[in-house]
Amino acid sequence: MRRSTRAAGASFRILLLGLAIPIQAIIVPLYLLIYKLHLYDTMFALMLTMSGAAVPVSVLVMVSFVRHVPRELIGAMLVDGGTEWTVFRRLIVPLSKPVLATVSIYDGLNVWNNFILPLVLTQSNSVAVLPLGLTKLEGQYAINVPAVMAAVLLSVLPLVVLFIVMRKQVMR
């Protein structure tokens, strides 16, 4: 089940390089790539780049968790006649629910609060995301503080609901 090959180790190290390179360092080449692929000012460009930015942390957390699953549990399931797919489906996935919830909340917060990628990769109001929309509530010479505070409160509600739904998994 837990085979360690050179290709797996090399691909893991390459994925971890994504942690060493911040998104701000590659924003200009990323913009040029998105522009040349004719994806500028589309939601697909935002989904693609933010998903790619979330992969290194998610892989690191998940791999670290799965490495700490006792080999005895896996061996016992295999001795009892289980296949590798059964071990994954009936042991790894149920044990991973707290980690999946944590990764989901962490990545969700990063995507929800991301400002620089939508600012650089979008232009029109139809594709604007929440953090950009909040900046448009400011006037040139004045700020409507009650409107901004109401918008910020409404923008936080989905994250609070997500945490409430997943709190049992996170607390494990």
Cα gap 163→156, rounded to integer Å: 11
Residue 71, burial from CB neighbour count under 10 angstroms (0-12, 13-18, 19+): exposed
pLDDT(2) > 70: no
Tens of pLDDT, residues 125-166: 888 888 888 887 777 777 888 888 888 888 888 888 888 887
Cα gap 83→77, rounded to integer Å: 8
pLDDT(117) > 70: yes
Tens of pLDDT, residues 37-86: 999 999 999 999 999 999 999 999 999 999 898 989 989 998 998 898 99
User: Rg for the chain (alpha carbons), in Å?
Assistant: 21
Cα gap 70→95, rounded to integer Å: 11
- Rounded to two decimals, the pTM is 0.79
CB 150 within 8 A of CB 161: no
State the pLDDT at residue 172.
Answer: 65
Q: Who wins on pLDDT, 168 or 65?
A: 65
Q: How do the residues of the chain divide into helix, strand and coil, expressed in percent and rounded to 5?
A: 75, 0, 20
The full set of domains in the chain, from first to last, is 6-171 (1.10.3720.10)
CB 99 within 8 A of CB 62: yes
